[in-house]
Amino acid sequence: MDFRNNFSILIVDDEASLLENLYNFLKDKGFEKLYTAKNIKESRFKLANFKIDLVVLDLMLPDGSGFDLLKEIRKESDMAVIILSALDGIDDRKEGFENKADDYLVKPFFPDELLWRIDAVLRRSKKIKNDGKISLGKVIFDKAKGILIKNGEEIPLTATQFKILAYLADNMNMIVSIDRILENIWEDSYGYENTLITHIYRIREKLEDNPREPKILITIKGLGYKLVKED
């Protein structure tokens, strides 16, 4: 399915053969952006350095519990998470859903069933994102129209401003490095940093009450930028 090309998946499991088989299976089914991690440490690195849309998460990992990683993810992001675990108790399932997992599948499993669940979760995620209106404090970012709405007034965005803001919105409440923004917007991480700084300030002029003391599009010194949406 063509829509699968638009999503990236991180598979977290300490079983090497399962990682390889699941990677190859999903690749054959049309997912081109796939990442793997054998433990929590590797998972944190992948989540920090790549745009991930969905995590397939084992619970029994060598350096900690998958539940702890799920809690970390939920503090920073609403990305989709499907738990894939041999833990089949009702209390384990309850804990997964209480920590806002999108689905829970018990091992052993049929790969096709996991695929169906992934497709269903991603379709729901895509529909929510495509509804397009994101509340950022007192301002609404209407992705469908490419505008901001502030105090009832529609504020237009340039094409580049829209791309930057949309990319940050797709990584809501997460630090996005300058290099990642440059590569996503200009397909090059060299020579555009000053241009990006200018665009960020222009966005803040439209978004913030006080652009010099931003509360929504904030700079994380030495790391990048974060678009903040409070629950």
Specify the range with the lowest mean pLDDT, choosing from 110-124, 173-187, 210-224: 173-187
The residue-averaged pLDDT of 92-116 equals 94
C-alpha span between 54 and 159 (Å, rounded): 27
Give domain limits for the chain.
Answer: 2-130, 132-227
pLDDT at 145 over 90: no
Q: Which fold has domain 132-227?
A: Arc Repressor Mutant, subunit A (1.10.10)
**Per-residue pLDDT tens for 155-206?**
999 999 999 999 998 888 889 899 889 988 887 666 678 999 999 999 999 9
C-alpha span between 231 and 222 (Å, rounded): 26
User: Cα dihedral sign for 166, 170, 172, 177?
Assistant: negative
Full-model pTM: 0.59
Length of the chain: 231
Whether residue 23 contacts residue 11, with contact meaning beta carbons closer than 8 Å, is answered with yes
CATH class given for the domain over 2-130: alpha beta
**Per-residue pLDDT tens for 55-93?**
999 999 999 999 999 999 988 788 899 999 999 999 999
